[in-house]
């Protein structure tokens, strides 16, 4: 299964790095992902959130992407790379604390401010 690039519409968007964050007020799973198209060079950030709250079989998820500058993407990659265990949402390293602090009240306001573009839905091709 591949991810469709919002810039070139090819099945070529990849997750180059990620960090799992702890549950919050609205989501049971939160993952910040750095994304890049290996065909056209598009770069951005994706956020995957999943909630398993409520009735049985009422799971919901959101997987949104944001186009960001190379400078911001490189800064965030440096921070993610500092984490000794990026797949562990319970990790309390400096990198996890940085992203937890940015993700207040279940909102990525700072990311929307940095993007200067509307977020896009991550879509998959099977």
Residue ranges covered by each domain of the chain = 2-121
What pLDDT, on a 0 to 100 scale, did the predictor assign at position 101?
82
Tokens of 113: 């401010």
Tokens of 92: 């309390």
pTM higher than the cut 0.85: yes
Average pLDDT over residues 71-88: 95
- 27 confidence band (pLDDT: 50, 70, 90): confident
User: Above 70 in pLDDT, residue 44?
Assistant: yes
What pLDDT, on a 0 to 100 scale, did the predictor assign at position 109?
65
Residue 104: how many CA atoms within 13 Å on its side-chain side?
4
How many other CB atoms sit within 10 Å of the CB of residue 9?
Answer: 12
What pLDDT, on a 0 to 100 scale, did the predictor assign at position 31?
93
What pLDDT, on a 0 to 100 scale, did the predictor assign at position 56?
65
Phi, psi for 30 (deg, rounded to 5): -140, 125
DSSP secondary structure code for residue 117 in this structure: S
Q: Compute the distance between CA of residue 34 and CA of residue 65 in angstroms, rounded to an integer.
A: 9
Q: Is 14 helix (H, G, I), strand (E, B) or coil?
A: strand
Cβ–Cβ < 8 Å for 36, 8? no
- 25 confidence band (pLDDT: 50, 70, 90): confident
The residue ranking higher by pLDDT, 71 or 111, is 71
Closest CA to 80 of 65, 66, 62, 99: 99
Q: In the beta sheet, which residues pair with residue 105?
A: none
- 29 confidence band (pLDDT: 50, 70, 90): confident
């Amino acid at each position: 299964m591949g991810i469709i690039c919002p810039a070139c519409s090819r099945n070529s968007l990849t997750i180059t790095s990620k960090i799992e964050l702890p549950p919050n007020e609205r989501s049971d799973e939160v993952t910040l992902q750095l994304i890049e198209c290996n065909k056209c060079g598009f770069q951005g950030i994706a956020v995957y959130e999943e909630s398993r709250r409520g009735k049985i079989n009422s799971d919901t998820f959101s997987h949104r992407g944001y186009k960001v500058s190379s400078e911001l993407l490189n800064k965030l990659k440096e921070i993610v790379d500092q984490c000794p265990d990026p797949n562990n949402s319970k990790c309390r390293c400096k990198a996890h604390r940085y992203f937890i602090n940015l993700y207040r009240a279940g909102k990525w306001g700072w990311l929307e401010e940095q993007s200067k573009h509307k977020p896009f839905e991550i879509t998959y091709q099977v």
